[in-house]
Amino acid sequence: MTLQQLKLTCDAPGIGVVQTLRGEVEPRNPYSQWNLCDYTGDDALRVLNARLTFCQQMGIDLDQLVMPRQSHTTHVAVIDQDFFDADIAQQEQLLNDIDALVTALPGICIGVNTADCVPIALADPTHGIIAIAHAGWRGTVGRIAQRTVETMCRLGATPADIHATMGASICADCFEVGDEVPQAFEQAGFDMTEIVRRNATTGKAHIDLWRANRQVLLAAGIPADHITLPTACSRCHSDRYFSARRLGIHSGRTFTAIMRTPNS
C-alpha cells in the first residue's frame, strides 16, 4: 500500500498526514485496490485486509484507527478516553452520522473516506490537537471546517496555531453542478466571485470546493499562510484516487488520516 504524505505548513515533528493511493487498478473493478471504507459496497474481508495493511504501515493496532460513518452532515465527534472506554456498539453509535473527528490523544489515527469530496486535515502542534473533516458540497456550505476548528478550540487549540491541508479531491473544472449548488453557497454567504464560474460551452456552473473550504478556514481564524490546497484532482486522476464521478458511488474511497505520535 502506498501512502502519500500530505504537507502541513509548519514544522510539526510527530504529526503525520497521509492519503492512500488506489494501488494496482484492475479494469472494471471500482473497488480496486486499497479501500478502507466498509459502507460503500466493498467486500468486508477485503476492507479488513486493507485496514490491517494500513495499520501495519502506520505502526498501530486496529483499535487505534478511528473513522466515522459519514453522511454529509456537519457533525463533529471528539475521540477521547470516554470513546475508548465504550463498548464496540456504543463506539459505532458515537461514530454514526459524523463527518469530522477531533482528538487530543497521541497514537490515535483518525481519518475520513472520500471519493471527490474534500478531506481536510487540521493540526495545532502547539497544543497537540488534531482533526480530520470530510467536506462535500453540502458539508462545505454547512461550514464543517469551521465547526471542526471550533471543536478543536474547545479542547484547547487556538486558530492562529492551527494548520490545515486538503487531500486530493475534485477540481473546479471537473465539478460541474446544477444551479441549486451555487444558490446554496450564495445563500450561505460565500464570496462567489472566487468559487463559481460558468462553462462557456455548456453554460453549466462549476464550483471550486478547494477555495470554498479555504474561505471557511479563513473565516474560522486560520492564517492564510497556514492553509494548503490539494495538489491533485481525484477525478482527473481516478487511477490513483477513487472518484465517485468517474467510477460511480458504488466504488472504493480514498482514506485520508492524521496522527500524532506519543512523544510529540
- Residue 235 CB, shortest distance to Zn ion, in Å, is 5
Q: ∠ CA(56), CA(34), CA(119), 5° rounding? A: 90
| Torsional sign, CA 148, 150, 151, 157 | positive
Helices 209-219/144-154 angle, 10° precision? 30
Kindly state the cell numbers that stand for 53.
495493511
Question: In angstroms, rounded to a whole number, what is the distance separating the alpha carbons of residues 117 and 244?
Answer: 9
- Selected from 235, 240, 246, 253, the binder of Zn ion by CB under 5 A is 235
Q: Which of 123, 132, 212, 233 binds Zn ion (CB under 5 A)?
A: 233
Query: At its nearest, how many Å lie between Zn ion and the CB of residue 6?
Result: 18
* Number of residues in contact with Zn ion under rule CB under 5 A: 5
The least distance separating Zn ion from the CB of residue 178, rounded to whole angstroms, comes to: 18
Q: Which of 36, 171, 212, 244 binds Zn ion (CB under 5 A)?
A: 171
> For the chain, how far is it from start to end, CA to CA, in angstroms?
26
Which 3 state secondary structure label does DSSP give 226? Answer: helix
**Please, how many CA atoms are within 13 Å of residue 194, restricted to the half-sphere of its CB?**
11
Residue span binding Zn ion (CB under 5 A) among the ranges 8-16, 168-176, 205-213, 221-229? 168-176
Q: How much is the CA Rg of the chain, to the nearest whole Å?
A: 17
Q: Which three cell numbers stand for residue 36?
A: 478502507
Q: How far is the CB of 209 from Zn ion (least distance, A)?
A: 11
Q: How far is the CB of 171 from Zn ion (least distance, A)?
A: 4
Assess 10 for contact with Zn ion (CB under 5 A).
no
Q: Which is nearer to Zn ion, 174 or 219 (CB)?
A: 174
Task: For the CB of residue 175, give the shortest distance to Zn ion in the complex, in Å.
Answer: 8
Are the beta carbons of 207 and 181 closer than 8 angstroms?
A: yes
Of these, 174, 184, 218, 219, which contacts Zn ion (CB under 5 A)? 174
Among 3, 9, 236, 245, binds Zn ion (CB under 5 A): 236
Please choose, out of 27-35, 89-97, 166-174, 203-211, the segment that lies near Zn ion by the rule CB under 5 A. 166-174
Q: Is the dihedral of CA 114, 67, 7, 239 positive or negative?
A: negative
Give the interface with Zn ion as residue ranges (CB under 5 A). 171, 174, 233, 235-236
